[in-house]
Amino acid sequence: MLNSCRGCHTQLGSIKKDTGVNFAVFAPNATQVYLCLFDASGHSQIAMIDMFLHEGGTWSVLVEPLKEGALYGYRVEGDYDPQSGRLFNINKLLMDPYGKDFFGEFTWSERHFCHMPVGTISKLDNAIDMPKSKVTGLAKYTEKRPNHPWSKTVIYECHVKGATYKHPDVNPEFRGKFLGLADPAFISHIKKLGITTLELLPVHAFVSEQFLTTKGLRNYWGYNTLNFFTPHKPYLVDNDVSEFQRMMATLHEVGIEVILDVVFNHTAEAGIDGPTLSLKGLNNSGYYRHLPEEPSVYINDTGCGNTLNIDDPKTLQLVLDSLRHWVEVMGVDGFRFDLATILARTSYGFNAHHAFINAILQDPVLNKAKLIAEPWDIGPGGYQLGAFLSPWREWNDKYRDTVRRFWRQDEGVLPELAKRVHGSNDIFEHNQRGPLNSINFITSHDGYTLADWVSYENKHNLANGEVNRDGHGENYSFNCGKEGFSTDIDIVNLRLKMQKNALVTLLLSKGVPMIAAGTEFSHSQGGNNNAYCQDNRTNWLAWKPSQQDHPLSYFIQELLTLRKTFSVFQHGFYVHSDDSRFSVCWLDENGQLMSESDWHSEGRKWLLYSIQDRQLEQALLIIFNAHDVSLEATLPCAPFSEHWQFALSSCDCAKYDSADPICTISAQSSWVFTSLKEGNIHG
């Protein structure tokens, strides 16, 4: 026999108490909210309990006796009037927005739609096709965190499933799961590379869009959130959400951080013609942005049907509560915010001092987390690279495009290339930020892989079912002489060398480097530059013994060891001419300072520069030659040793006689030299 009373409304969600469970949900315009309890199978509704309204629009009820593991959902009575933005429908079972776990799978059916057709309320009950929220009580995460400073952070962006699903040395039970990332075989690999931080594609519970499932495809990337608090259930081995905490504890123990790619810009409920699953049925007009003059029309700054309304205090609270849960309870170290511009947009446009930004800055939990913005969306004024404030970091797509264009042999790129490898001061210094605010990358999950960047000039996205219309049209790519796969040894070698050139540029630039998973063994997606719906070998990393010994893996190790040695890459400020410790010199092929005309010579497709730390008496000389002919370069005098010492090159046949100041820099190659006073190594 269940008993119920008013309960407490101050903490949303389901909270286990000594004698029962307290439930609280926000639905300010509802006339009645019901808590619906289900049997252990999730199929039969066994109770429908009236909840109590509190001031401000929160409803609560305390149910006794009730235990952890109980399954539930909400039904809401109220006006059904799409024209005013109200979509209350008691026939729709709603997931708890604050649910920390759920039971069962989501199944697409016409029962999820509140209106059939729009304007006509649907009488179909969707409970049979809905997961049921589940009462759970996870303890706070207490393990020690690595807390790597940004100056020593190296990011490896990967997908939970794709990273280990085909790894032969990972425990078969754990492959493609959270625990697969904590398997010794995977940990050994990323540690050997020199990675400090995993950035995981979305792990909030998500579903595939109906237009994909009807084509036999899935949303693989995960940018279609169902719930902001629950880990994606297919990534669990035993359907136990605490497995995420186990993964975090193991990774932290070996010094690996985890950043989550989070999607707070939209949800899986889409627009007016989308399903009613949670927020839409509780407070549609508050949780989502609508045209002020037409509340039935969703603002679609995301391209996914709806846009979360962070201006609303309860929506802002939902986002902040989710973030704190993932830090305090699940143990994560930071977040990369998908389409972050949306989170700081008001009806008047982007605002770097938006309530969301300010709330995080003053939050004693979140202001210690790593924060990365994807600083663009498709809405008005959507491109905001450089506009976020400290301590935010930002994905720097200008870095990506400039490096790609230089190695593609585009003309007139040198001035911008110099800015990008030096940390993009033109983008970040205006608001008192430094080079470590730039997340430098050349490839990510979105777009070509590094191998495909040098293998395809045109996108090959037919498998996505959109007649090759989707994906970026301009990728600044080249195919080295043949489109796609090739067995021509000259093409194969050139492609490998060009990938090395990109890695030298990336890992020896000022800023925080990010490598996309699979880069280290030339993973290819067959030219698909929008593989978001390919849950198959297109995306799964193909682990083979030969690939784990791939030359790019060793090359990345060398570069990251070199990066760690030189202090300039950990220096958090830009180097200018009046700097008493550091200096940067841009040189011509004669070892002299570049002239103004050198910078703007369209035929010049090479860049030479030295960077020095006078205090530690260490220097690097870096030479990029993107031209298809070799360059005779006169090296300047080595500042802290008798001669420059050859460190590495993208060219396997690189040779250098330290006694000869002239070095032949082969075509389409990069070279690195060092000058160190003996023993002066920065750790």
Nearest to 63 by CA among 40, 89, 34, 43: 34
Read out DSSP for 421-448? HTT-HHHHGGGT--GGGEEE-S--SSS-
The residue written with tokens 């032969």 in the block is 168
Asked if 289 contacts 307 with a C-beta cutoff of 8 angstroms, the reply is: yes
Centroid of chain to Cα 267: 17
Is the dihedral angle over the CA atoms 72, 73, 78, 80 positive or is it negative? negative
Is the dihedral angle over the CA atoms 78, 80, 86, 88 positive or is it negative? positive
- Cα–Cα distance for residue pair 486/43, rounded to 1 Å: 54
Told to judge if 338 belongs to the known catalytic residues of this protein, a careful annotator would answer yes
Centroid of chain to Cα 361: 20
User: Residue ranges of the alpha helices (H) in 589-664?
Assistant: 596-599
Entry field: residues in the chain: 683
Told to judge if 374 belongs to the known catalytic residues of this protein, a careful annotator would answer yes
Read out DSSP for 220-241? -S--SBS-SSSBPGGG-SSS-T
Asked if 94 contacts 283 with a C-beta cutoff of 8 angstroms, the reply is: no
DSSP letter for 675, please: E
Q: At what angle do helices 397-407 and 414-421 cross, to 10 degrees?
A: 130
Q: Three-state SS for 45?
A: strand
Active-site residue, selected from the candidate residues 157, 199, 374, 377: 374
Could you give phi then psi for residue 545, rounded to 5 degrees?
Answer: -50, -40
Active-site residue, selected from the candidate residues 338, 394, 446, 613: 338
Asked if 277 contacts 302 with a C-beta cutoff of 8 angstroms, the reply is: no
Going by DSSP bridges, is the β-strand pair 45-50/3-5 parallel, antiparallel, or unpaired? unpaired
Asked if 394 contacts 388 with a C-beta cutoff of 8 angstroms, the reply is: yes
* Residue 133, beta-bridge partner list: 72, 102
Asked if 135 contacts 68 with a C-beta cutoff of 8 angstroms, the reply is: yes
Single-letter amino acid code for the residue at 632: E
Q: Three-state SS for 295?
A: strand
Give the pair of three-digit tokens for residue 433. 């930020």
- Cα–Cα distance for residue pair 609/352, rounded to 1 Å: 35
616 contacts: CB under 8 Å, gap ≥ 6? 567, 677, 680, 682
Q: Indicate which residues carry an active-site annotation.
A: 338, 374
